[in-house]
Amino acid sequence: MKNLFEQALRCLLIDDPERKVEQAQSLQVAWSEGKLTLDPTVDIRSLEVPGRPERPELVDPREVPRRNFSSLKGRLTLVHAIAHIEFNAINLALDAVYRFQDMPAQYYTDWCRVAAEEARHFMMLSDYMGSHGMSYGDLPAHNGLWEMALKTDFDVLVRMALVPRVLEARGLDVTPGMIEKLKTTGDEKLIKILQIIFDEEIGHVKIGSYWYKSLCEDRQLETDATFIKLIEKYMQGARFGPFETEARIEAGFSHEELQALLDHF
């Protein structure tokens, strides 16, 4: 039988987006059907650069093209930016599987599922761009998500705290507003795509919350205070709010926790 960790790394290193999507979805199926073992690998590689195509060009976040909702060009710029986030999210989920090899089996079930769903999100956005003569890589993008992956590659608790519960949770706050603005354009296809992504991302952040809290319990750490400390240590200058409170509560945050974030940052 093949090894889950080796297969996750293999998928993580794939450069071609379509092949990565296909393999991420195949990995989830193989794991769910019991075709992969959990034999830890001897060496776990540090990955300064995951598998990604030569384009998009990676630039400073301030150089990423501005996007608006009134024109098709503006919407395509928005979609490209979200597609880049989703492509990175595939790699982040695969890395969460590969890198942290001493977790319960349910952890791998959860993150294989996230990888497959992020892959589907990417393809929906890629197909939308393709229907308008555009491809992923046509515009520059930034590397913030993977930079946080590198900052958190030493501890699964830190990863669960800062990637799903900070970076990905931000999408829960901003997506409903984007959908509302898009309603004035009549772009029902894009609205439907973003609604699917929003609904499923709640589940992804909820998975991060579950494992973060479980790890805190195992280590006898207070969850809210530890979360604040990790943000202060690794994400200086972070800002929070306004929150999409209902979505965040569904994704595993408490009202007290949300208020603490507003008070501290």
Q: What is the pLDDT of residues 209-240, one digit of tens each?
A: 999 999 999 999 999 999 999 999 999 888 99
Q: What is the pLDDT of residues 104-113, one digit of tens each?
A: 999 999 999 9
Identify the residue with better confidence: 41 or 4: 4
Q: What is the pLDDT of residues 19-47, one digit of tens each?
A: 999 999 999 999 999 999 999 998 899 99
Written as one letter, the residue type at 259 is Q
Residue 54: per-residue pLDDT: 95
95-105 b/e (C-beta count within 10 Å ≥ 16 → b) = bbbbbbbebee
Residue 253 falls within a domain, yes or no? yes
Residue 168: per-residue pLDDT: 96
Residue 245: per-residue pLDDT: 97
Residue 106: per-residue pLDDT: 98
Q: Provide the H-helix boundaries in 33-168.
A: 72-99, 105-130, 144-151, 156-162
Residue 180 falls within a domain, yes or no? yes
Residues 65, 139: Cα–Cα separation, whole Å: 8
Residue 135 falls within a domain, yes or no? yes
Residue 65: per-residue pLDDT: 80
Residue 33: per-residue pLDDT: 98
Percentage of residues in the chain having pLDDT higher than 90: 92
Residue 51 falls within a domain, yes or no? no
Residue 64: per-residue pLDDT: 83
Count of domains in the chain?
1
Closest-CA residue to 81 (of 59, 98, 108): 59
Residue 49 falls within a domain, yes or no? no
Identify the CATH number of the domain in which residue 78 sits.
Answer: 1.20.1260
Residues 31, 37: Cα–Cα separation, whole Å: 8
Q: Which domain holds residue 162?
A: 2-39+57-264
Q: What is the pLDDT of residues 144-176, one digit of tens each?
A: 889 999 999 999 999 999 999 999 999 999 999
Band (pLDDT 50/70/90 cuts) for residue 66 is confident
Residues 56, 141: Cα–Cα separation, whole Å: 6
Residues 36, 39: Cα–Cα separation, whole Å: 9
Residue 46 falls within a domain, yes or no? no
Crossing angle for the helix pair 72-99 and 144-151, nearest 10 degrees? Answer: 20
Residue 170 falls within a domain, yes or no? yes
This model's pTM is above 0.75: yes
Residue 94 falls within a domain, yes or no? yes
Closest-CA residue to 90 (of 175, 187, 185, 204): 204
Band (pLDDT 50/70/90 cuts) for residue 87 is very high
Half-sphere exposure of 140 (CA within 13 A, CB side): 11
Residues 188, 182: Cα–Cα separation, whole Å: 8
φ and ψ at residue 152, rounded to 5 degrees: -115, 15
Residue 210: per-residue pLDDT: 98
Q: Which of 49-63, 87-101, 249-263 has the lowest mean pLDDT?
A: 49-63
